[in-house]
Amino acid sequence: APYMRVPPSLLREKTGRRGKDAWMALGGKVYNITPYATFHPGGVPELMRGAGRDGTELFGEVHPWVNHETMLAACLVGLLVVEPEAGS
C-alpha cells in the first residue's frame, strides 16, 4: 500500500506534548501538523485542540472552506485505520 495505515492508538500518542510530534486526522487522512503549527492563523493552542485525535468535526465547525488536503499535502502521514485494531 502506498500509504501508512495509522491505527487510532498511534494517533492518540501524537499530541505534541512533551516535545512529541502532533498528528491530526482530517477526513480519514492523518497529518503531522508539527511543521504547520506556527503558521496556523487561529494560533497554536486552537490548532492543538485537534491534536492526537480526529479533528474533522472541529475543523468543519470553524472553517469548512479551508482546503486541508492541499495545504497539508506535504504533511501527510497516512490513512486512519477504521477497522477494529488487531488484538482488540
Question: Could you give the CA distance from residue 25 to residue 50 in angstroms, rounded to a whole number?
Answer: 8
Q: What's the burial of 31, exposed, middle or buried (CB within 10 Å: 0-12/13-18/19+)?
A: buried
CB 23 within 8 A of CB 32: yes
58 is a site residue for ligand HEM (CB under 6 A): yes
24 is a site residue for ligand HEM (CB under 6 A): yes
55 is a site residue for ligand HEM (CB under 6 A): yes
Q: For residues 32 and 81, which CB has a smaller minimum distance to ligand HEM in the complex?
A: 32
Question: Could you give the CA distance from residue 16 to residue 69 in angstroms, rounded to a whole number?
Answer: 21
**Residue 69 C-beta: closest distance to ligand HEM, Å:** 10
60 is a site residue for ligand HEM (CB under 6 A): no
**List of residues contacting ligand HEM (CB under 6 A):** 24, 33, 36, 40-42, 46-47, 49-50, 55, 58-59, 62-63, 66, 68, 71-72
